[in-house]
Structure 1
Amino acid sequence: MADSNPADTLSIARDAGTKPRLTRAEKAEATRVRLFEAAIQIVGEQGYAGASVALITGRAKVAQGTFYNYFESRQDLLDQLLPAISEQLHEMIRAKVMTAPDDPLERERARLCGFFEFLEKSPHLFKILSEGMVQAPTGFRRHLEMQTASYRRALEYERRRGNLRIEDPNEIDVVTQMLLSTREYLSGRFCYVDGQFVRPSDFVADTYIKLLRGQIFK
């Protein structure tokens, strides 16, 4: 009997309406993702203090003992939440910036609006961020480092293209933190009402751009 072709086997499985079997590594990654998603939901709903291993594994439909195959401890998982979310945030904002008009202020508008859009799709991020400094300091610091590095690269890109009025690296570092802080505070003020996300009006981004243009003070 001739050896079967893996591609033919997969095709037959599809035709039969069955799903191809996952490898052990794929199953493990799927379980890890479920634990992450469950932890994000529970921290978003109840805060870090309410995110017990029992609740996380129950929500993920994973045996409690299995949890420790993926994370050293409850705190280990909580410290990994923000860096994982930070990577997703970076990718989403990058995609928004890539489609923005070739103008430095339009790219900055895309970064702010991309952040708001991410919050709309990931409403639990605000609580995870607001409590993270105290409840998951390791993950919170890593998140800040990742976001700072990403924004710093964006400003360096604008500097190389002659779009910044400043050149001093120390000043660029300060501006990086100012812009990061601004979007955090704007989201807290305009993106949430009674704990529910609301899409900010266009005037929020418009006023932000006015500030960057230097059109606020006479």
Structure 2
Amino acid sequence: MKTKQSAMAHPAGEAKLTVGGRVRRSRRAEKAEATRARLFAAAIEIVGEYGYAGTSVALITQRAQVAQGTFYNYFQSRQDLLDQLLPSISVQLLAHVRKRVHQAEDSPIAREYARITAFFEFLEQTPHLFKILHEGEIHAPEGFRRHVALQSENYKRALERERHRGHLKASSPEEIDVMAEILMGARDYLSARYCVRNGEIVQPPNHVIDAYMRFVVSGMFVDQPA
């Protein structure tokens, strides 16, 4: 009888340990993710304040309140972290733009207006992006390349959808590629020219958006019904 009771108790005990183990692993994973997020946030602030050249593991871990040794549990090196910064911000930017586009009216012009205004909105909300982006090509080339690829491919997909709906003057995917690069270059140069004021990142004046939209609408879009 004693043996039977032990045999019956074993599976239940094992299940309890398994569930407990999952809970512990889940908590460890959450803690690890929180630590990684703190390191990312600290690195973004440090690069924004001191530039890539002035950023060190010591400054990052001090700002994140993490031991220097812990840093290497998450990143192979300082450069590894720096190369991940732009792509991580890029994903956030795409999510922000996508949200604004989904909230826009169902028209190609409204969607393009949402894309450009969402970009400037995100830039103002994430001011360190400006320095991270413009220094990234030199100091974090791998991260810069991944950022450009993410933005470019998403813009091309959005424009390709507009082309298939008959909204664009473009007649081929090759033209879509060129259009996407022109639009990305425009927002980059416009932000450098109009969004930096007394060392602060601000929204561009309304006439900048208006001029951009007139240029884009007349050059890209087919006439829309009144």
**1:30 paired to 2:34:** yes
Task: Give the alignment's TM-score, normalised by structure 2.
Answer: 0.84
Output aligned runs, 1:34-113, within 5 Å.
34-113=38-117
Following TM superposition, by how much is the alpha carbon of 1:25 offset from its aligned partner in structure 2, in angstroms?
0.5
Output aligned runs, 1:46-195, within 5 Å.
46-195=50-199
4+ runs deviating over 4 angstroms: none
Following TM superposition, by how much is the alpha carbon of 1:197 offset from its aligned partner in structure 2, in angstroms?
1.4
Following TM superposition, by how much is the alpha carbon of 1:144 offset from its aligned partner in structure 2, in angstroms?
0.4
Aligned to 1:214: 218
Following TM superposition, by how much is the alpha carbon of 1:99 offset from its aligned partner in structure 2, in angstroms?
0.8
Q: Distance in 2 between matches of 1:198 and 1:69?
A: 37
Output aligned runs, 1:195-210, within 5 Å.
195-210=199-214
Identity, % of aligned positions: 60
Query: Letter of the aligned partner of 1:124 in structure 2?
Result: H
- Contact in 1 for aligned 2:160/2:173 (Cα 8 Å): no
Following TM superposition, by how much is the alpha carbon of 1:214 offset from its aligned partner in structure 2, in angstroms?
2.4
Q: Distance in 1 between matches of 2:125 and 2:142?
A: 25
Query: Letter of the aligned partner of 1:70 in structure 2?
Result: Y
Q: Distance in 1 between matches of 2:203 and 2:86?
A: 22
Query: Letter of the aligned partner of 1:67 in structure 2?
Result: F
Following TM superposition, by how much is the alpha carbon of 1:194 offset from its aligned partner in structure 2, in angstroms?
2.4
More helix by share: 2
- Contact in 1 for aligned 2:136/2:144 (Cα 8 Å): yes
Partner-residue secondary structure (3-state), 1:125? helix
- Contact in 1 for aligned 2:84/2:143 (Cα 8 Å): yes
Following TM superposition, by how much is the alpha carbon of 1:213 offset from its aligned partner in structure 2, in angstroms?
2.5
Q: Distance in 1 between matches of 2:166 and 2:218?
A: 17
- For residues 7-53 of structure 1, the C-alpha deviation after alignment (integer angstroms, 9 at most, x for no partner) is xxxxxxxxxxxxxxx70100000000000000000000110011100
Would you say how many aligned residue pairs link Structure 1 and Structure 2?
196
Q: Could you list the runs of 5+ residues in structure 1 that have no partner in the other structure? A: 1-21
C-alpha RMSD of the superposition: 1.5
Q: Distance in 1 between matches of 2:110 and 2:210?
A: 10
Largest Rg, 1 or 2: 2
- For residues 172-199 of structure 1, the C-alpha deviation after alignment (integer angstroms, 9 at most, x for no partner) is 1111100011011111111111220122
- For residues 52-99 of structure 1, the C-alpha deviation after alignment (integer angstroms, 9 at most, x for no partner) is 000000000000000000000000000000000000000000000111
Q: Could you list the runs of 5+ residues in structure 2 that have no partner in the other structure? A: 1-25, 220-226
